[in-house]
Amino acid sequence: MFLKNYGAALKDAGVIIALCIQDQKPPPVKALYRAAQALVALERWKEAKDVVQRGKEMPGEESKPEWKKLFDEAEKGQRRVMERFERERRAKGSKAALRKAIESRGLVIVDTPSPPDNPHPLHFDPEVAPLDPPLYEPEGSTWIPTPVHCPLIFPVFLLYPEYAQSDLITHFDENTSVGDHMRVMFPASPDAGGWAGWDEKKEYWGGNLVAYVETAQRRLLKVGKELTLREVLAKAVKEVEGKKDGVILRDGLLSLVVLVKGAKEKAWIEEFKRKRDEDK
């Protein structure tokens, strides 16, 4: 044991214990203790606890602190292993649940080879999602994946093609609307002030803006500003020429185009359609 050859020490102690059992004699306490020490060192936690229990059952051994120390080490080790497995299980289950929730919204998932860094990934609303139980539960894990109907929080790009500018809304609750966010981001009227620095002509105010979203099959849909994002996504779901169509979720991000109403809106749409038709 002093040379840390735990495998050999376990083998030697095991031979002594086996011979005693064969002769129907109680095994030496020292052999049981050495076996338990070796099993702890080898991180064979469950076996270590079994041997410790046998050692404590020997006459005069039940209250000795050496056994308690070994048992506690084995218990902590076993708990660490179980927590690691549970953490991995939950990560895998959470990822699957999130993808299932995304697909249930009719989104078309596109993952590129070089996704952008995104410190605010798409996730379930933590205020609504069930609380996770402790990683370690002696009677077995009660954790279940978050249900697909739980609200999602999206990172959403607002694109302003006229100025080649954009904003990233890092936490867009799917049960809020584009209008909710626009009212925070843009002036309510031409006289309100608080213009974006790039808005040279001071045209980007709430009532003067419209939003559009592109689908996977390159349909262009006008976004009702008072519709929730979840309603917008649902309205985009359609089968086009035998293919599933819906709003694109590219690398975990949604994108909406924001335009000034009227002539600029019309010109941008015409250019979009021209390029789309050329690509067919």
Q: Residue 53: which residues within 8 A CB-CB, separation 6 or more?
A: 71
Per-residue tens of pLDDT for the chain, all 280 residues = 444 788 999 998 899 999 998 988 999 999 999 999 999 999 999 999 999 999 999 998 888 999 999 999 999 999 999 999 999 999 999 999 999 999 999 999 999 999 888 889 999 999 999 899 999 888 889 999 999 999 999 999 999 999 999 999 999 999 999 999 999 999 999 988 889 999 999 999 999 999 999 999 999 999 999 999 999 999 999 988 888 999 999 999 999 999 999 999 999 999 999 999 888 7
DSSP secondary-structure letter at 119?
S
Model pTM greater than 0.85? no
Dihedral sign for Cα 120, 126, 130, 131, please. Answer: positive
**pLDDT for the residue numbered 242:** 84
**pLDDT for the residue numbered 2:** 45
**pLDDT for the residue numbered 5:** 87
Tokens of 273: 């359609």
Angle at 169 between CA 107 and CA 256, to 5 degrees: 50
In Å, how far are 107, 152, 217, 222, 227 from 235, measured between CA atoms?
11, 17, 14, 11, 10
